[in-house]
């Protein structure tokens, strides 16, 4: 595993290239650097949420108004968005999510394990296309492919970044 | 409950008075009665009707307002729907969209499920919650005189604004708009993009 690959910076560049405008999030330590870069950049409209489900509705409205967005969260947030995905499913709104995993790789908090275990199957139950990435130097291409699939094909796509990837970075909890 | 006998605003009259001067207003409706109220006035390509996603009306309107910052965006929703997404008032207050107006049609009931009381029937004040979140203008509207004075604000004052309309418990016919979400999305986007071309935005 290449620990020098800064996948957060790569995601940031891809969001810019792909004309993603609204960046909605409930913070996760795995997204710390990306959120900080978005906060500091005037191009992006950063939208901190009180609950992840707001992000699903927000990005539906953004698309109605012809803007692209991304929803950032950790795996526990997936439990909060399920019914709101009804909007995306029924209207076939494009919805792109980048989800950092908890509860699976060296997790210290047992309360994170249940939702971490259920994240992928829960998303798939609501017809979201799930693409997992567990290697840092594959994050960028996975995110780029996910964005294209989302907006060119009008689909809901979640990129799950494995906890192993986040754990491989030197981030301070 | 207390004071409910003093409520006089009729939800359909209210919506008609607000929307009779709508011009190019973009409108998002929350699921249930607000969608029926708006549909009762006839269809409009600038309407996006929600039939589900309870709690999502305000954030949907926020995403739209941020994307279309030159257009006025109104969201009309019910007290139950607003309460389910009450956190979104904080999210709106942080963004401070100048073009977003929230209208809550508050009959203190869950109208689609048997008229059970909502929290507003027990004194929970949505306008106060909005002010606590940081809305500079968030008020209860209880009379037709007050309604007439807030309508110009809906169209002209700097947002975000919230008006919580106290309405009677009523039994209006259900007027159902288009319910195919894909169709509703396509026509709304097509209309908005067409308007954008015309004004050269």
The counts of H helices and E strands in chain B are: 8, 8
What's the average model confidence in pLDDT over B168-183? 96
| Other Cβ atoms closer than 10 A to A121 | 9
Confidence of residue B1 (pLDDT cuts 50, 70, 90): very low
If you average pLDDT over residues B40-44, what whole number do you get? 97
Q: Is residue B148 exposed (0-12), middle (13-18) or buried (19+ Cβ within 10 Å)?
A: exposed
Q: At what angle do helices B88-95 and B57-67 cross, to 10 degrees?
A: 20
Residue range B64-90: mean pLDDT, rounded = 98
Average pLDDT over every residue of A151-155: 96
Domain boundaries, chain B: 11-198
Of A50, A56, A83, the CB nearest to B90: A50
**Predicted complex: ipTM over 0.85:** yes
Q: Give mean pLDDT, residues B112-120.
A: 96
Cross-chain residue pair B64–A87, CB shorter than 8 Å: no
Cβ–Cβ below 8 Å for B52 and A90: yes
SS3 B149: helix
The average pLDDT across B144-167 equals 98
Q: Provide the whole-model pTM.
A: 0.95
CATH 3.40.50.970 is held by the domain B11-198: yes
| Residue B121, SS3 per DSSP | helix
In A, which residues are within 8 Å of B71 by CB distance?
65
CB atoms A47 and B56 under 8 Å: no
pLDDT of residue B195: 85
* From A50, A84, A93, residue closest to B91, measured CB to CB: A50
pLDDT single digits (tens) A104-113: 999 999 999 9
Q: Could you read off the pLDDT of A110-142 as tens digits, one per residue?
A: 999 999 999 999 999 999 999 999 999 999 999
Q: Are B155 and B21 spatial neighbours (Cβ–Cβ below 8 Å)?
A: yes
Chain A hits for B65, CB-CB cut-off 8 Å, are 61, 65
The mean pLDDT value of chain B amounts to 95
Would you call A65 and B67 a contact, using CB atoms and an 8 Å cutoff? yes
Which residues from chain A sit within 8 angstroms of residue B201, using beta carbons?
none
The helix or strand, by DSSP H or E, that contains position B64, with its residue range, turns out to be helix B57-67
Which residues in A lie closer than 8 A to residue B68 (C-beta atoms)?
Answer: 65-66
Which chain B residues are closer than 8 Å to A58 by Cβ? 59-60, 62-63, 91
pLDDT of B4 above 80: no
Q: Long-range contacts of range B188-193, CB-CB < 8 Å, 24 or more positions apart?
A: B188/A64, B188/B45, B188/B46, B188/B47, B188/B48, B189/A63, B189/A64, B189/A66, B191/B45, B191/B46, B192/A64, B192/A65, B192/A66, B192/B26, B192/B46, B192/B68, B192/B71, B193/A66
Does A50 contact B192 at a Cβ distance shorter than 8 Å? no
Question: What tokens appear for B17 in the block?
Answer: 């008075």
Please check whether residue A153 touches B, CB under 8 A: no
Q: CA-based diameter of chain B, in Å?
A: 52
| Contact between chains at B60 and A21 (C-beta distance less than 8 A) | no
The nearest CA of chain A is from the CA of B110 a distance in Å of 18
Question: What integer pLDDT is reported at residue B6 of this predicted model?
Answer: 80
Share of chain B above pLDDT 70, in %: 96
Give the pLDDT band (50/70/90) at residue B196.
confident
Among B59, B65, B71, select the one facing A57 at the smallest CB separation: B59
| A72/A56 Cα distance (integer angstroms) | 11
Residue B200's pLDDT is 56
Confidence of residue A4 (pLDDT cuts 50, 70, 90): low
Q: Is the pLDDT of residue A155 over 90?
A: yes
- Domains of chain A in start order, with CATH, are 6-166 (3.40.50.970)
pLDDT of B33 above 60: yes
**Min Cα–Cα distance to chain B from A123, Å:** 16
């Amino acid at each position: 595993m290449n620990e020098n690959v800064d996948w957060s910076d790569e995601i940031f560049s891809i969001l810019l290239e792909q004309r993603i405008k609204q960046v909605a999030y409930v913070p996760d330590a795995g997204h710390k650097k990306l959120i900080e870069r978005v906060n500091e950049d005037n191009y992006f409209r950063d939208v901190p949420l009180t609950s992840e489900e707001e992000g699903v509705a927000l990005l539906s409205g953004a698309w109605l108004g012809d803007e692209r967005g991304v929803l950032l969260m950790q795996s526990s947030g997936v439990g909060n968005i399920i019914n709101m995905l009804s909007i995306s499913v029924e209207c076939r709104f494009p919805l792109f999510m980048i989800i950092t995993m908890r509860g699976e790789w060296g997790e210290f908090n047992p309360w994170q394990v249940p939702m971490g275990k259920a994240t992928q199957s829960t998303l798939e139950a609501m017809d979201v296309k799930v693409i997992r990435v567990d290697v840092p130097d594959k994050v960028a291409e996975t995110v780029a492919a996910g964005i294209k699939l989302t907006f060119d094909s009008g689909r809901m796509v979640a990129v799950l970044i494995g906890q192993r990837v986040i754990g491989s970075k030197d981030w301070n909890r | 409950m207390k004071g409910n006998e003093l409520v006089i605003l009729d939800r359909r009259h209210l919506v008609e008075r607000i929307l009779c001067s709508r011009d190019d207003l973009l409108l998002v409706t929350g699921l249930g009665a607000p969608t029926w109220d708006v549909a009762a006035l006839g269809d409009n390509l600038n309407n996006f009707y929600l039939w589900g996603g309870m709690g999502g009306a305000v954030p949907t309107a926020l995403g739209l307002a941020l994307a279309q910052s030159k257009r006025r965006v109104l969201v009309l929703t019910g007290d139950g729907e607003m309460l389910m997404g009450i956190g979104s008032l904080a999210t709106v207050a942080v963004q401070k969209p100048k073009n977003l107006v929230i209208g809550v049609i508050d009959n203190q009931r869950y109208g689609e499920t048997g008229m059970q009381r909502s929290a507003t029937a027990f004194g929970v004040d949505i306008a106060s919650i909005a002010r606590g979140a940081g809305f500079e203008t968030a008020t209860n509207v209880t009379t037709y005189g007050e309604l007439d004075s807030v309508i110009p604000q809906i169209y002209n004052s700097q947002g975000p604004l919230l008006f919580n309309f106290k309405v009677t418990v009523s039994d209006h016919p259900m007027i159902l708009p288009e319910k195919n979400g894909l169709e509703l999305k396509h026509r709304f986007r097509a209309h908005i993009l067409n308007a954008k071309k015309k004004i050269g935005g």
